[in-house]
Structure formats: C-alpha cells, structure tokens
Amino acid sequence: MDIFPPVKFDEDNNLVNEGMDYNKLIRYKRERNRLLYDINKLKILLNIKAVSRSIYIKILLYKIELVKELFIVELETGLEVFIPPELAIE
C-alpha cells in the first residue's frame, strides 16, 4: 500500500478518489498488532524462563508459527519485508 497514491482528475479538474482501500489498511493494522502482541507475550515468557522442557518447546514452536503468519501478512501488503531472525537459516 502506498501512502501517497497516484492522483487522477476528471475533465472538470476535480479530484477523483481512486485511492487506498482504508478497510484493507485497517484490517492489516489490526492483524499485525494482534500478532505482534502475541509474539511479544511469548518472548517475555521465554526470556524470563517461566516455562521449562516440553512447554518451552511448544511455546517456541507456536512463536515461530505466529512469526510466519506475520511475515505472510506483511508480504501481502506489498511493502518492504525483512526476514525475521526466528525464520532465518544460519
């Protein structure tokens, strides 16, 4: 989504609104914020070592699933996307 979409005028030099789909933008922002909120909660749990063994692994896998979902949501917008460290292969 482009912040400044191309502007078009009709024959009377009136601005024609073919701009952004704001419903789509709002859906994207709500989904992104929900995913970031959940990812941050899981990061806190993992960083303070509040869980152990099998629960730790399940939370880690769930966090990776959420990061993948966030990555896909950002790809669908067409904006610049960086590969998150959770998905990087090194």
Q: For the chain (length 90 residues), average pLDDT per consecutive 10?
A: 64 66 82 95 92 91 94 87 86
pTM of the complete model beyond 0.85: no
Rounded CA gap, 34 and 84, in Å?
17
β-strand partners of 15: 9
- Torsion-angle region of 53 (φ positive above 0: left; ψ -120 to 50: alpha; else: beta): left
For residues 81 and 71, is the Cβ–Cβ distance under 8 A? Answer: yes
Element housing 81 (H / E)? none
Alpha helices in 5-52 (DSSP H): 22-47
